[in-house]
Amino acid sequence: MVFRILADATVVLHLLFVLFVVLGGILVARRRWIAWAHVPAAIWGACVEFAGWQCPLTPLENWFRQQGSGVTYKTSFVEHYLLPILYPPSLSREVQWILGALALLLNAAVYILIFRRRARP
């Protein structure tokens, strides 16, 4: 039971990290110090997508699931609603490239707006 909870928590953390990578620039517009965490996270997220790497949270989640008796459990809310968001069936290398580019473009646009607003007298 504990390992299943840890696996579900890992999925939630993974989703929150993905949201931070994609939308963290909006937080930076309100609190500039967040950029110190967001810029490395956004670079990591883009590298994972462009290189086709596996995020370290995925094997951690799988390990927790194996320790918690594998596939012998019923699906939870997290597995039913959040896993398809993180791991859609149509995820291909081309889609990964598009997702990485969209994340970079969105964040670049937000940062450009922040710097322009800051540069105004």
Cα separation, 118 vs 98, whole angstroms: 30
**Nearest Cα to Cα of residue 83 among 101, 57, 103, 63:** 57
**E strands, 29-98, in order:** none
Q: If phi over 0 gives left and psi between -120 and 50 gives alpha, with beta otherwise, what is residue 70? A: left
Regions of the chain short of the pLDDT cut 70? 70-82
What pLDDT is attached to residue 111?
92
pLDDT for residue 80: 58
Burial class of 79 by CB neighbour count within 10 A (0 to 12, 13 to 18, 19+): middle
Q: Can you give the pLDDT at residue 77?
A: 46
Query: Residue 97: which residues within 8 A CB-CB, separation 6 or more?
Result: 49, 50
Cα 15 to the center of its chain, rounded Å: 5
Q: Could you tell me which residues come within 8 angstroms of residue 76 by beta carbon, excluding any fewer than 6 positions away?
A: 4, 8
pLDDT digits (tens, 9 = 90+) for 104-120: 999 999 999 988 887 77
